[in-house]
Chain A
Amino acid sequence: MFFERWGGWALIVLFTAIPVVRWLMLKPIDDRFINMSLSFKSFGQVVGIIGLMLYAINLLLSIRKPWLEDLFGGLNRVYIAHHITGGLALVFILFHPVFLALRYIELTALVTIKDAARSILPQAIHFDRSYFEIKHAVAINNGIIAFIGMVGLLFVTFFVKLPYRFWLFTHKFLGVAFVFAGLHVLLIVSDVSNDTFLKIYFAAWIIIGFAAFMYRTVLGNILVRRIPYRVASASTLPGNIVQISLDPIARPLDFKPGQFVFIRFINDSVIANEAHPFSIASVPREQSGQLRVYVKALGDFTTSLKQLKAGTTAEVEGAFGRFLPARFDDVPQIWIAGGIGITPFLSIARNFDSLKPKVDMFYTAQTKDELVDQEALRDFLPQHYPQFRYHTFVNEEQKGFLSAQYIAEQAGGLEGKEIFLCGPPPMMKSLRQQFRAMKIPNSKIHSEEFSMS
């Protein structure tokens, strides 16, 4: 259990620490910090090493592979790690040129600030100079391009609220900036180029990062396996919910109840040709292999899905997610669905004959109309499986929100139970905090938090 949640992070720390430890072993530590100038240089080197490692790992975390889900406990957690490593890589890389330039400055001779300024400017390449001097200038310039590219692109990610499709477009260029960063590391005369182990280690990670970028971004249409489907029907339900059914064109998708997929609709209408995540509401063994999803029309893309027409081709990538109550089928469970967060539970419940535990299901929505597709949950399951209890909570009627206290009272306590939570992010955050306040360990609370409206 620990490895599933933290194994990926342990590996990130390990892979980042290895070159730092090696770097420290190359020279006595006092030689690296013998004076202010060398100390700045050493700080500059070490933040550069950490920054590049996190950058490479960040690209690797974007490839959406099942083994990454195993390491982090679900794709949502992989993307959280992707986000954090990206932010930290930026922080470390930001200080790389700062420290390296500061080493030139002597407080007793302020004129040295001119050396510092020159060191962060692009270098003129004189082709009449030696090969090594040309290589050095090229390496410096590559570093500057990578720095400006990464800072600019991540500034957009962290501080500018762009529509998803524009953000995605800009985000793809981070791989290009990484190529320049990699060339900078491989070409510059440094501890990395001076030490065989570091040279091979960084070359390997630069290749891994570059391969990940090529696999996902440049050659994604060719290399990433996507299964063709065709839209069978698309209808709008009460509560601004769109129900989409898709028929397989070839072999249907293999998935587990509770998982989600990325779907891209190939069309000429207003619906953007970009992949978005959708939780699967259908069950794996459905005769026709039909895939059914529910979408709450919240953002530009999801609202445009109301115009989806039958016959539209779709590409499905997946399935992803570790929101799998079946993994704990010998433990009592609590399922909590908020609004459209019911979708994975519909798939899980429809597959209930494979599930034996005692379950208390709580389904909450703003209004009664927003409670969708309740037949199986309300009528069929409790009738055939007495261990399944179904509770609804309509905010409008109850004059409030579903609380952990209410759940505990209705379910006869929370101790020893696995809690599965899917709904709007503020609801999940609030309930998780309430459960944590009631001393429920985080490891007992499972949530599906993937959303890109």
Chain B
Amino acid sequence: MKLKLVVKIAMIGSLSTLLLMLVVGLIVPESVLTRLTKSNDDNAQVSIVDGKEIKKTVDPETDETIITTTDPTTSETTVQSTPTQQPTSTPGTNTPSTPSTPNTPTTPTNPGTPVSPPVVTLTASPTTITSGNSANLSWSATNSPSSCSASGSWSGGKLASDSQSVSPTSTSTYTLTCTNSGGSGNKSVTVTVNAPVAACGQPGGTCSFSDIQSYTTAANCRSAINATGSGLSAYAITQSFITAHQTYRSITNLLCGKVYNANLRNQVGDHQNSGATISGSNYQTWINNFYLGSYE
């Protein structure tokens, strides 16, 4: 009698869980699921300039860029907002009116002190994309630049520390020049664009993947491949003979110091190789570990 009760509870518990997963997973649209878990801070970009924390967020309702500057020494916080694209207003919404700010924060310099010209760091990720996909440019400049401007394949004034997504259709070079009273500094980065074979998600098409990361622990070279493919709802991490539809794979005992290629496959069979460098001390072979990391 007790066994019957246990079986009954197990049956109800497990089958209803499976049913719930199937119903929610197959019926509820991806956009709804994404919205349910997406917080407003997801797009927040935080940078430190002259010891001040500058947090840049986009208001999803007004589409305005909100820049919050916090000085940790005085705990003083200033909030500025500026429209990022076309300004929109929502009837009935009480949007605080804030003065528009210049694109470049102006930082006062101390007269009489020798000033070094800005040192600009500009990176693109990834540096190679397929046409139609985007790369992320991120930059920062030291020595309190009074202004930064973009040239080459982009233009306009820029913050001293920021990031921007670009979608070039051909190979493009992006240059950022920052200036202060001591002079100016610049940096260029090139994003190589490959011609598309087919659109991502279509048979034979390629997709780009980013965020293939590795992490290590002191004793063990352990890696997690956490791939987020753009335009894909689900894909597999494969290695020649393995297919498993999952977006996260923890892999242990990798060959440290070696670059690994993960074949990422979406539901219709698209491929893209991406590399991840593993560092650490304890290792075995890649095949063995990928093998271990992919079973049911």
Contacts and interface: CB of A to CB of B under 8 A. Distances in A.
Contact of B11 (A97, A102, A119, A151): A151
Interface residues of A, number: 62
B241 A133 contact: yes
Given A35-B250, A114-B234, A189-B295, A94 B242 contact: no
Interface stretch (A104-112, A175-183, A356-364): A104-112
Contact of A159 (B8, B10, B30, B222): B8
Contact of B14 (A88, A98, A194): A98
B25 interface: yes
A189 B291 contact: yes
A111 B21 contact: no
Interface in A182-198: 188-191, 193-194
B241 A132 contact: yes
Contact of B22 (A35, A105, A117, A193): A117
A191 B247 contact: no
A83 B3 CA distance: 9
Could you tell me the dominant secondary structure of chain A's interface residues? Answer: helix
A442 B123 CA distance: 79
Interface in A178-222: 188-191, 193-194
A55 to B, nearest CB: 14
Contacts of B243: 129, 132-133, 136-137
B164 interface: no
Interface string A131-171: 11100110110000000000100110011000000000000
Contact of A91 (B10, B246, B250): B10
A95 B241 contact: no
Nearest to B39: A108
B292 A194 contact: yes
A118 interface: yes
Interface string B168-204: 0000000000000000000000000000000000000
B165 interface: no
B15 A94 contact: yes
B42 to A, nearest CB: 10
B33 interface: yes
B233 A114 contact: yes
Contacts of A126: 269
Given A104-B246, A113-B24, A154 B33 contact: no
9 contacts: A41-B296, A97-B18, A104-B247, A105-B21, A110-B37, A116-B21, A121-B22, A132-B242, A158-B7
Interface of B: 3-4, 6-8, 10-11, 13-15, 17-18, 21-22, 24-26, 28, 30, 33-34, 36-37, 222, 233-234, 238, 240-248, 250, 252, 269, 291-292, 294-296
Given A118-B245, A119-B245, A130-B240, 10 more contacts: A94-B10, A110-B34, A113-B33, A115-B234, A117-B21, A120-B18, A133-B241, A133-B242, A159-B8, A189-B242
